[in-house]
Each structure stands twice: as C-alpha cells, then as structure tokens.
Amino acid sequence: MLNLKNRIRLFCLILAPMLTPALAHAQNFKASVVKLDITPDNPQQLLGYQARKSTGVHDKIYHRIVAMDDGKSQFYIISTDICLISPSQYDKLTTKLQKQLGINPMNVWWSATHTHSAPEVGPAGLPSVFLGDRYKHEFDAVYTDLVEQKIIDGIRDAKKNLAPAKLGMGWGHSNANINRRARGIDGKTGLGMNPDGPVDRKIGMMRLEKADGSLLALIANYAMHGTVMSGENLLISGDGPGIVSEYVEEKTGAPMLYINGAAGNIAPIYSVYPSPGAGRLNQFKAMLGEKIIDASKKMGPATNIVNLKSSGTIVEIPRKEGLGWPADLGNYTRTTKAGQNLVKLPIRFLKINDDVAIWSAPLELFCEISNEVRDRSPFPYTFYFGYTNGWLGYLLAEEELKYGGYEPTVTPYAPGAAKTLTEAVTNYLQGDMRSGH
C-alpha cells in the first residue's frame, strides 16, 4: 500500500508528460525589433490635408517592427510613420509575405501612426470617393515599392533575430489630447477643440524585455491625431507620434512603436499650426513621451510564459446610400439579393495569455466606441489598435451624427454602425476569445 507521499509522487510522474510540452512551449517566448528609415530623398505628395508636395524634411520617418514567437506561432506588429494606406495595399503586402516567408496574413498587423505630414503610400482607396479633388495625381509607385520592400526586409530580419524574451503589460495616462468636435451655441460642429467632449487618455503599454531583463522595445497605444502641424507645413515629419517615439527611444535606448487608438474625434492639445515651432511640437516629448517612460517603469514584472492567439471576424455594415466604391476595394463590399450595399469590415484580434485582448480595425474610430468596448471587455488589458491594415473611413458614435461637421462627410456607414460594431466586438471578446476558440 502506497503512503500519501508516494501516491503524490506517482501522480506527478503520470501528469508530468502531459504538462511538460505545454510548459516548454509557453516558456519558449522569443521576440525581436527592427527599425528602418523610410524618409524619401525627393519631394513627395503629402497625405492628410489638401494635395501638396513636400519641400524638405523636419524629422525622419520610419518603420518599426516587433516580432513575437510563442513557440507555436509568430506575430508581427508594424508601426509606420505615414497617414493612411488602402486595405488593398495591405493585402498586396501580406500576399508577398505569405509567398516569400510563409507568414499567415492573420499574423501581420500594419498600423499607420496617422501623421498628416508624411508621403502618400499606394492607391488612394476610399478617400478618393470622399475627397476626389485631392487625388488627381498618380501615387508614387517607386516610393510605395520602397516602403513595401523595407517591410518585407524588416520582417525577414526580425524573424532571423528572434531571441529569448519576456513580455509585460500596463497602463499609462497622458493629457496630451483633446476632443476635436468643437460645438457652437447653435449645436453646429466643426473641427476645433471641445474640452467637454469624450476623450481617451489611457496609454496601453507593452514592454518587451531581453532574457536578462534589459529593454528590447516598447509599444505605446494612445489616441491622438497626427495633426500638430497643419496643411501649411510642407516638411516631412512624424508629427506628434513620431517626435514622441524618437524622444522615448533617445531616453531608453530601445525602439518604441507608437500605435494610434480611436482618434477619430481626438486631436493633439496643440493642433493645426503652420510649423513645428508654432505647434509646440517638442512639448509633446514632456506631455506624452515622459508619461510613456514613467508608465514603463511602473509596469509589473514581465514574463516569458506567453501564449499568442490571433483571430478575426468580418462585421458587415450597411453602406451610406448613394456612396460610390473604389475599384481596388472590391473585397471589402458586397450587395445583398435585396440590393443593399454592405461594407465588409475586417476586425482582427490578438489574445495574449488570459488577460490581454487587442483588437484592431482599418478605421478612424470615435473614442466613445473603443471606450465602451474596453469597459465591457472581460480582459483587464483591452487595447484598440486603430488605422490598422488599411482605412475604411470614419465610424462615428451614433449621437454625434446629428451634429454634422467634417467626420460625417467621410464615413461610408449608414446610421446604426456604432452599435453594430460595438456589439460584434464585445460579443467576440466575451465569447470566442474568452472561451479560447
């Protein structure tokens, strides 16, 4: 008859073969980071305001790429100092990555920082429907190819340089942004500042460490338009997001990926000035950069026990009546048998262990929507990555439609879109992601 001590020992011997592979996989976390200069050496059409051409460079612009490997799958996050890309350009890139490197498109997220002082990349896509007068010229195919090839080269290097790492999560806070839906006494709304309007001042933080605990990279998720400078500025710049990233890198010695959030109705506290000096661009180093550094120091311990699970869903939303559709986005719309035109909106998800849920969309989203999703999420760390894998217009909070202004003119969605998206994402977080499917 076995005594209790021997029984426990026998039980552990039986259980060990079942647990060891999973544990070994979980502790096999690796990561890497790559930073690549994509600053053009010739004048470029700038995206974000009226059609205009650059006359010089204020600060360099970059790709920053993080690769993560949990032993079963690899995941890539790209942050690029540009304004927008068409979903068709993202599809073109990921098709090449799958063919050349065998990477599943579901595991590649390409986020634009949304600086309005950066060159155009690829076809205009949906903006050509709303703002056709800005796109009478052809996009620069040579520069677009360079931007695309540098991502491919960067991911190849990141894949090759994967090394043992640890991951930490946390939150920060900054008052560097403000609601930009300025409301007049008559209720009419225009671009400006609205200190009483909804805002999201949380900074979602991810800290990647090397095996020895030294900093490998930071990812900071913060909602803020890249519009410190106005259309009068003709110098290429990463604007607020780029200046903040460069400052954090200077102070920490490690690359930082700025991932914009639900900034559809959120501006920088200093916005649309004619030059970097007038716009107090350097003050964002203190207002946001220092807050990111402080938050990184206060984060809990990082872990090498990391499980990554990517997934996605399509949310179909009725298109605004009478709205045209660009030829390069045929995969993002369909017409029902009843003749209703729908936008096929791709939503991506990344689950990290049991406490982190990140969702992304090719949207200029109003912050009320992502705030509600975060409040209703069962995951303590719920981040929204905006301007990711393309751009399919603004998606407004329902109550804002009646006030008019700029944003309702550049949305392809019929009324009711906010509720449809909120419920779809929340249900996915509470259902499929929570259950581990």
**Domain edges within the chain:** 308-435
pLDDT at residue 312 in the model: 96
- DSSP H/E element including 330: none
pLDDT at residue 3 in the model: 59
pLDDT at residue 5 in the model: 54
Q: Which of 105-109, 187-191, 258-262 has the lowest mean pLDDT?
A: 187-191
Q: What number of other Cβ atoms are within 10 A of residue 27's Cβ?
A: 14
pLDDT at residue 133 in the model: 84
Give the residue-averaged pLDDT of 372-387: 98
Give the residue-averaged pLDDT of 281-297: 98
Instruction: Record the tokens describing residue 341, joined without a space.
Output: 């035109």
pLDDT at 174 over 70: yes
Give the residue-averaged pLDDT of 324-333: 96
Give the residue-averaged pLDDT of 34-55: 96
Give the residue-averaged pLDDT of 405-421: 97
pTM recorded for the entire structure: 0.93
> pLDDT, tens digit, for every residue of 240-285?
999 999 999 999 999 999 999 999 999 999 999 999 999 999 999 9
pLDDT at residue 236 in the model: 98
pLDDT at 80 over 70: yes
pLDDT at residue 8 in the model: 47
Give the residue-averaged pLDDT of 174-195: 95
**What Rg value do the Cα atoms of the chain yield, rounded?**
22
Give the residue-averaged pLDDT of 29-57: 97
In this structure, what are the phi and psi dihedrals at residue 11, rounded to the nearest 5 degrees? -60, -40
* pLDDT band with cut points at 50, 70 and 90 for residue 436: low
- DSSP H/E element including 10: helix 4-26
Give the residue-averaged pLDDT of 183-205: 95
Residues 6+ apart with CB under 8 A from 272: 191, 227, 228, 229, 230, 231, 279
pLDDT at 160 over 80: yes
DSSP bridge partners of 137: none
pLDDT at 11 over 60: no
* pLDDT band with cut points at 50, 70 and 90 for residue 412: very high
pLDDT at 85 over 90: yes
pLDDT at 19 over 50: no
pLDDT at residue 132 in the model: 84
pLDDT at 303 over 50: yes
In this structure, what are the phi and psi dihedrals at residue 296, rounded to the nearest 5 degrees? -65, -30
pLDDT at 13 over 60: no
pLDDT at 158 over 50: yes
pLDDT at residue 424 in the model: 98
- Return the closest-CA partner of residue 233 out of 179, 281, 177, 288: 281
DSSP bridge partners of 64: 35, 79
pLDDT at residue 23 in the model: 45
Q: Compute the mean pLDDT over every residue in the chain, rounded to the nearest whole number.
A: 94
pLDDT at 1 over 60: no
* pLDDT band with cut points at 50, 70 and 90 for residue 7: low
Whether the Cβ atoms of residue 345 and residue 314 lie closer than 8 Å to each other? yes
Q: Left (φ > 0), alpha (ψ -120 to 50) or beta: where does 71 sit?
A: left
